[in-house]
Structure 1
Amino acid sequence: MKKIAIIGSGPTGIYTFYALLKHKTPLAVSIFEKAEEAGVGMPYRIDENSRLMLANIASVEIPPVFMTYLDWLKEQSAAHLARYHVDKASLHDRQFLPRILLGEYFRDSFLRVVKEARRLGFHVDIHESAEVTDIATDKDGVTLSVNNSRLPERFNLAVIATGHVWPDEDEATRTFFPSPWSGLMDADIPACRVGIMGTSLSGLDAAMAVVMQHGAFVDDKFVLDKGSEALKIVLMSRTGILPEADFYCPIPYEPLSVLTEFVVENEIAKGSDGLLDRIFALMVKELELADPAWCEKIGLRALDADTLRDAWFEDRKQHGPFSWAEANLNEVERNKRERRTVPWRYTVLRLHEVVQEIVPHLNEQDRERFKQGLARVFIDNYAAIPPQSIRRLLALREAGIISVVALGDDYTLDVGRAQTAIATEDNTYLFDVFIDARGKTAENRGSAFPDTAQTAAGDRRRDP
């Protein structure tokens, strides 16, 4: 019986395990989870989230594991859902719900996969509180170190499904949190000046973790506790741009007309030189076919893979972040009521999935161009956030608690023991508590497994 190790039991680990059930011959599967409970996933664990924190994925977008998320929700009691302020009678498949609730679905799905695997003759071992600290590979297979002790067992294959990598909680202090998931949920944050680096959903989640200690959302307003009047939160980024609210569109995605997978494969086959610009020209044709009025409005014909980014964000830069967010929210909610799809938004969303295939084939210069240009557009488009998160942000603004600052590209950040100072060309901002909600870029994460990193480095050294 072949032995498979799955390292991590969040969504990626669950879907990997689920796919293995299609294997005609039973396998020996060992799941390693560093948390106390397997099958939830770090972004959805109760100790990492509050009930205010919403998942930015709805049932219609989640591949079912035996049953859809919506069907699972309908099986839950009305009282249980009410704990998360979810009305069972109004459930639908495009609803954004608390992350903790989604974690419960993944946990139940994981247990169903385990049960079905054992029924099919699989040998399944679940190791909880078992952090894989190293992986070693050789011609005979894979060995693991768990909690810094090498296991005698050898596996034919190991699947790394560890997901998010965040700074250790040990790096956090009472005034500095290197991520929203480094002890923030357990910390007592006083009513003070709080700086949050990052204006994406992670930044908003960090703000929610703070404000929940000082008041409550009542309908579309935030009621501040007496004695917490000194609480002021500043969201910061280079541009000060807020994300869009999630927009209505058909799911599953409709096929593209111009830049199909077949066309992308042909362009890749022509070689890396000029690949990015050839793909962008085809993107222009796709967008002009879908929404000629929008293309004319932004002057798409005059843009290229480097300048589309500026045109994409121009409208938001021309308005204050909160007035723009309110207008965008109203538009998105109106479109959802009317089931109206904005063609250019939907086209860019679908283009992302085919255009990403060219990235490994770009030359070094064009890969950097893509990272600085089109990647920013695609990320902004597919990382749209739940409308409820925007409503809460606007409520905090109305209560005089939250503001947004654009730092520009040239600023310094000095984390002190008592305060954090951020200096730009024009201003210096001082914060009693500072939270870095930017996440880690891939190049800064490194490898969690020393032997694997050494092997990879050795392989790179042998490259011509």
Structure 2
Amino acid sequence: MNPFRSLAIVGVGPTAIYLLQQLEREVNRFLPALTDIYLFEERDRLGVGMPYARCTTDEYNLCNISSSEIPPLHESLVDWLRSLTDEELAAQGIARQDIDADETYRRTTLGDYFHNQYSAIANTLRARGLTIHEYNNSPIADIIDNPARRSVEIRCSNNERFIVDRAVISTGHSFPEADEPEHGYYASPWPMQKLIPAKGECLDYEIGVLGASLSAFDVVSSLSHRHGAFVRDGKGLTYEPFPGTDNFRIVLHSAEGWLPHLQYEQAEPFRVVYRHVDRDTMLALRDARGFMSFDDYFDTVCRAALIAAFENDKRPDIVALLSAERASLETFVQTMSDEHTADDPFALMRVELSDARRSLRKGVPIHWKETLDDLMFTLNFHFDWMAAEDHLRYRKIMMPFLMNVIAAMPLHSANIMLALHEAGRLELLSGRVSITDKRGGETHVEVDNNGAKSSHSFRMFVNCSGQGGLGLDAYPFAGLKDAGVVSEAAVLFRDDAARAELAASDPDKVSASGAGGALRAGGIAIDGYYRLVDRNGKSNERIHDIAFPHATGVRPYSYGLQACDATAAIVVQSWCVECESGGKPSAGAHDLTETYAEMPEPAEL
């Protein structure tokens, strides 16, 4: 029996599209009881999402994911592109002969594709008898849970109110920190339009960018195209600055001194939860208290998979390293990080670019990167099994490394960076950045590179450090906060001494939750099916939150479209269990891992 008649989805980007598609695949389980789906989107077009919307991104911002890596929707990206007229393709900056499943395209192109796929899925659901209520340009002011009536109230900013049985929050990216343009400080690069000079004007000065990742490159690409032209000749791509831009220059700040790894060939483009390990092995890693050690996961699951990958990559040196008993997680990360560290990161990028071209041209996968992505994807959906000590270790040791390796840069983007560097318009400073002051129309920073400190001032300084977790203070729905329906994510320590040490050195990171305190993990508390967990530790029966900034405390590696698809599948599978059993699914390890094991691979759909 279907447990609900009406569903609201708040925020209609790619995650919501995959949720609707999962519903479409299982729709027979929910009919005829499910009759109405309400969709609320604050922007003008449903299905697009912030990173791909024309109002937030720019024509010079490229995706780092190809058609072959996008989890299947009704139609693949390349098939949709081939269905367009030559005029429509020209508007996307694409020539018909250049359409390729392994190519990357503009972010706005992907946004148009998602909007088209959303419409196709919505129409299919309508054809099955569901009423789809679409509300674009409709920011949500608040959400109220009503346990007595077993309903959820959605309050729009225009004072309209809707009562539904079930709600899913999928609001996506959010950057609540305020810009301070009077001091040249921008808390995020979004919307990109705020950084772009008016037509006929230029930014003829040095610009600072915090970070050297893909969003930092978005800033580099958008601004450099407004201050010069990229020209391809017999020597490759060069940059020719426009007159009057002699002082235009961009300085990237990277704590580790890294530029991104580059796009690589993959044998298996889709991530799955249980590729290198099975459910029973994962369950066996938990101790009597329910904790899974990060070291045990690395030794039992990661080590053998990575050895096999490096054997395929013909890297006997790393095989020998991983085969040694003393080789820890930290040793592996440090070794691979050292390979990507150089006094001149642009010279290293040029070498890596040559290797990447050869890999893609010959169709030779780089197995270790793909395998590492798989292993961390698996860990993500079991992350709440780890104690606070391992949460901290993951974020300190593994996360910076992962973000550099897996968030790979398209080769065309690397060519742009190298051309700008050759023209003297792009540099990278290594070291940790502290903002010391904002005054006199400038942002002043200090860079600490292993004890060597330097000071810098910028008339424009853009924070591209990425989407962080949003805790209770920044949670957008006061009605859920005030009623205690939502709580902060907190993780217990394995060892009291570790808790006491952190409480003494950084007390804000330790909450009063649990016996003697718990780690404030960032984000909000959710269970394995993404249901809100209240201040008493009870899962909510009506409200799921799948917005990455809210879930990051317990699902920190939920980046990208494949994580969107997997998250949507987990939520819908929990509803299917309700339909079959008539009761709420347990978010315990046994039931949750069974859900993971039964999820089909995207390629099978």
Q: Which of 132, 142, 163 is the aligned partner of 1:154?
A: 163
- Quote the RMSD (CA, aligned, Å): 2.5
Q: Which structure 2 residues correspond to residues 71-82 of structure 1 after superposition, within 5 A?
A: 71-82=79-90
Residue of structure 1 in register with 2:466 after alignment:
439
Residue of structure 2 in register with 1:39 after alignment:
47
Q: Which of 86, 109, 123 is the aligned partner of 2:131?
A: 123
Q: Deviations over 1:379-398 (max 9, x none)?
A: 33321121111111111111
Identity within the alignment, %: 23
Matched position secondary structure for 1:217: strand
Residues 254 and 44 from structure 1, CA distance in 2 versus in 1: closer, same or farther, beyond 3 angstroms?
Answer: closer
Tell me how far apart the structure 2 counterparts of residues 273 and 141 of structure 1 sit (CA, whole Å): 35
Superposed displacement of residue 375, structure 1: 3.0
Q: Which structure 2 residues correspond to residues 135-150 of structure 1 after superposition, within 5 A?
A: 135-139=143-147, 140-147=150-157, 149=159
Mapped contact 2:58–2:108 kept (Cα < 8 A):
yes
Which residue identity lines up with residue 20 of structure 1 in the other structure?
A: L
Tell me how far apart the structure 1 counterparts of residues 419 and 221 of structure 2 sit (CA, whole Å): 12
Residue of structure 1 in register with 2:223 after alignment:
210
Mapped contact 2:14–2:48 kept (Cα < 8 A):
yes
Q: Which of 243, 252, 265 is the aligned partner of 1:248?
A: 265
Residues 324 and 77 from structure 1, CA distance in 2 versus in 1: closer, same or farther, beyond 3 angstroms?
Answer: same
Tell me how far apart the structure 1 counterparts of residues 316 and 142 of structure 2 sit (CA, whole Å): 50
Identify the range of structure 1 (48-57 vs 393-402) with the bigger mean alpha-carbon deviation.
48-57
Q: Which of 389, 396, 416 is the aligned partner of 2:439?
A: 416
Residue of structure 2 in register with 1:268 after alignment:
286
Matched position secondary structure for 1:333: helix
Structure 1 segments unaligned to the other structure (5+ residues): none
Matched position secondary structure for 2:125: helix
Q: Deviations over 1:4-39 (max 9, x none)?
A: 111111111112122222322153011101012222
Residue of structure 2 in register with 1:179 after alignment:
188
Superposed displacement of residue 443, structure 1: 4.7
Q: Which structure 2 residues correspond to residues 295-310 of structure 1 after superposition, within 5 A?
A: 296-297=317-318, 299-300=321-322, 301=324, 302-310=326-334
Tell me how far apart the structure 2 counterparts of residues 258 and 439 of structure 1 sit (CA, whole Å): 29
The structure 1 segments of at least 4 consecutive aligned residues displaced by more than 6 Å after TM superposition are: 254-257
Superposed displacement of residue 169, structure 1: 6.8
Residues 254 and 234 from structure 1, CA distance in 2 versus in 1: closer, same or farther, beyond 3 angstroms?
Answer: closer
Q: Deviations over 1:39-84 (max 9, x none)?
A: 2111111122222111111111112321111100101122322334
Residue of structure 1 in register with 2:390 after alignment:
366
Q: Which of 36, 59, 63 is the aligned partner of 2:71?
A: 63
Residues 456 and 97 from structure 1, CA distance in 2 versus in 1: closer, same or farther, beyond 3 angstroms?
Answer: same
Which residue identity lines up with residue 449 of structure 1 in the other structure?
A: F
Matched position secondary structure for 2:285: helix
**Is 2:15 the counterpart of 1:12?**
yes
Mapped contact 2:211–2:253 kept (Cα < 8 A):
yes
Normalising to structure 2: TM-score of the pair?
A: 0.71
What is the total number of aligned residue pairs between the two structures? 462
Normalising to structure 1: TM-score of the pair?
A: 0.92
Q: Which of 346, 350, 360 is the aligned partner of 1:336?
A: 360
Mapped contact 2:436–2:445 kept (Cα < 8 A):
yes
Tell me how far apart the structure 1 counterparts of residues 68 and 288 of structure 2 sit (CA, whole Å): 37
Superposed displacement of residue 100, structure 1: 0.5
Tell me how far apart the structure 2 counterparts of residues 142 and 187 of structure 1 sit (CA, whole Å): 44
Residues 42 and 169 from structure 1, CA distance in 2 versus in 1: closer, same or farther, beyond 3 angstroms?
Answer: farther
Tell me how far apart the structure 2 counterparts of residues 214 and 109 of structure 1 sit (CA, whole Å): 36
Which residue identity lines up with residue 457 of structure 1 in the other structure?
A: S
Residues 170 and 80 from structure 1, CA distance in 2 versus in 1: closer, same or farther, beyond 3 angstroms?
Answer: same
Tell me how far apart the structure 2 counterparts of residues 279 and 95 of structure 1 sit (CA, whole Å): 35
**Is 2:412 the counterpart of 1:388?**
yes
Identify the range of structure 1 (18-27 vs 359-368) with the bigger mean alpha-carbon deviation.
18-27
Q: Deviations over 1:354-385 (max 9, x none)?
A: 22233100111111112212333333332112
Mapped contact 2:60–2:106 kept (Cα < 8 A):
yes
Mapped contact 2:173–2:467 kept (Cα < 8 A):
no
Residues 86 and 265 from structure 1, CA distance in 2 versus in 1: closer, same or farther, beyond 3 angstroms?
Answer: farther
Structure 2 segments unaligned to the other structure (5+ residues): 489-532, 539-605
Q: Deviations over 1:288-324 (max 9, x none)?
A: 2332463634833343233433222112223411011
Residues 20 and 95 from structure 1, CA distance in 2 versus in 1: closer, same or farther, beyond 3 angstroms?
Answer: same
Which residue identity lines up with residue 296 of structure 1 in the other structure?
A: D
Tell me how far apart the structure 2 counterparts of residues 246 and 211 of structure 1 sit (CA, whole Å): 22
Residues 357 and 120 from structure 1, CA distance in 2 versus in 1: closer, same or farther, beyond 3 angstroms?
Answer: closer
Tell me how far apart the structure 2 counterparts of residues 45 and 257 of structure 1 sit (CA, whole Å): 33
Which residue identity lines up with residue 341 of structure 1 in the other structure?
A: P
Matched position secondary structure for 2:340: helix
Residue of structure 2 in register with 1:221 after alignment:
238
Tell me how far apart the structure 2 counterparts of residues 221 and 146 of structure 1 sit (CA, whole Å): 50
Q: Deviations over 1:317-339 (max 9, x none)?
A: 23411011111111111001111
Residues 305 and 263 from structure 1, CA distance in 2 versus in 1: closer, same or farther, beyond 3 angstroms?
Answer: same
Tell me how far apart the structure 1 counterparts of residues 210 and 160 of structure 2 sit (CA, whole Å): 39
Tell me how far apart the structure 2 counterparts of residues 271 and 243 of structure 1 sit (CA, whole Å): 39
Q: Deviations over 1:114-160 (max 9, x none)?
A: 22222221111111110012111121211112116361x21111111
Residues 235 and 46 from structure 1, CA distance in 2 versus in 1: closer, same or farther, beyond 3 angstroms?
Answer: same
Q: Deviations over 1:387-435 (max 9, x none)?
A: 1111111111111100000123x74442334111111343111111111
Superposed displacement of residue 101, structure 1: 0.6
Superposed displacement of residue 238, structure 1: 1.1
Identify the range of structure 1 (324-333 vs 57-66) with the bigger mean alpha-carbon deviation.
57-66
Matched position secondary structure for 2:262: coil
Matched position secondary structure for 1:462: coil
Mapped contact 2:369–2:406 kept (Cα < 8 A):
no
Residue of structure 1 in register with 2:494 after alignment:
none
Q: Deviations over 1:227-280 (max 9, x none)?
A: 111101000021121111110012345988854444223213665556211111
Identify the range of structure 1 (424-433 vs 257-266) with the bigger mean alpha-carbon deviation.
257-266
